[in-house]
Amino acid sequence: MGKKAQVETDFMIIARIESLILKKGMRDALKRADAYIKAGADGILIHSKEKKPDEIFEFCREYAKFGYKVPLVVVPSTYSNVKEEDLMKAGVRMVIYANQFIRSAYPAMKQVAESILKNGRALEADKFCIPIEEAIKLIPSV
């Protein structure tokens, strides 16, 4: 359905498989991958919440046996010890760092807020911030 509605070739549909997170097993994950590919998905996102990437690598090994494949995508939030190089060797084509930036922004904002509260002004917090001139450059001009 989604591919039929696609109007731009730059748009991709990446099917996210939650089988491993839901403990439905590898067979279910592979079955879904096959169905999503047949339905026209442009990519397969295999997801896991395990601390080690073992089941991701197992999925990659089994997925490699498919006759027809689309790019594999992973989100190593919980198994953050794995290197991109190892994922790529296993057949992964895209790594999404989904929440690391949000999770890192909170402690930085907290540090600035605590500095402002402690000092009653922003001067001491400036050392934790990019200069205003640099921040302004980040805003696209219309």
Buried b / exposed e along 77-106 (16+ C-beta atoms within 10 A):
eebeebeeeebeebebeebeeeeeeeeeee
CA 81, chain centre distance (Å): 15
CB-facing half-sphere around the CA of 119: CA atoms within 13 A:
12
Mean pLDDT rounded to a whole number for the chain: 93
Higher pLDDT, 19 or 9: 19
As a whole number of angstroms, the distance between CA 1 and CA 135 comes to 42
The predicted-structure confidence for 89-115, as pLDDT tens digits, reads as follows 999 999 999 889 888 999 999 999 999
Per-residue confidence at 142, pLDDT binned at 50, 70, 90?
Answer: low
The predicted-structure confidence for 17-33, as pLDDT tens digits, reads as follows 999 999 999 999 999 99
Asked if the model's pLDDT at residue 2 lies above 70, the reply is: no
Asked if residues 38 and 44 have their Cβ atoms less than 8 Å apart, the reply is no
Per-residue confidence at 9, pLDDT binned at 50, 70, 90?
Answer: confident
The predicted-structure confidence for 50-72, as pLDDT tens digits, reads as follows 999 999 999 999 999 999 999 99
Per-residue confidence at 74, pLDDT binned at 50, 70, 90?
Answer: very high
